[in-house]
Structure 1
Amino acid sequence: MTDSTTTYTGPERVFSGVQPTGALHLGNYLGALKKFALLQHDMECIYCIVDLHAITVFQDPKTLADQTRHIAAAYLASGVDPAKALVYNQSAVRAHTELAWYFNCVARTGWVNRMTQFKDKVGKNAEKASVGLYTYPVLQAADILAFKATHVPVGEDQKQHLELSRDIAQKFNNDFGVPNFFPHPKPLIDGPGAKVMSLRDGTKKMSKSDPSDASRINLTDDADAIAKKIRKAKTDTGDVPATMKELEGRPDIANLVGIYAALANISEKDVLAQHAGSQFGPFKAALADVAVEAMAPITDLMSRYLADPDELDRILSKAGDKAAEIADPIVADVRKIIGFRGA
Structure 2
Amino acid sequence: MGLVSCFVWHIKEDLYICNAFKKYQIIISMNIEKISKVEIKSLWNRFDLIWNLNPDVNILSGINGSGKSTILDFIACLLTRGILTDDLAELVQSVKITFNNGKCILFEHIIDTIKNIELKAKTDDKYKSLFSNIKKKEGLNYKNIERISANITSSDDLETTLKELHELIEIDAISTFDKEIVEVGKRPDENVRTELDRDIFKLQKQYLDYQLNIGKRAFEIVSTDNGNSKKDVSLIRKTQERFLKIIDSLFEETGKKINRTKNEITFINGDEEITAYQLSSGEKQLLVILLTILVQDNKSSILFMDEPEISLHFDWQKKLIQYILELNPNVQIILATHSPAVVMEGWHNKVSDVRDLIVQDKK
Q: State TM-score, norm by structure 1.
A: 0.30
Which of the pair has more CA radius of gyration? 2
The structure where strand makes up a greater share of residues is: 2
The structure where helix makes up a greater share of residues is: 1
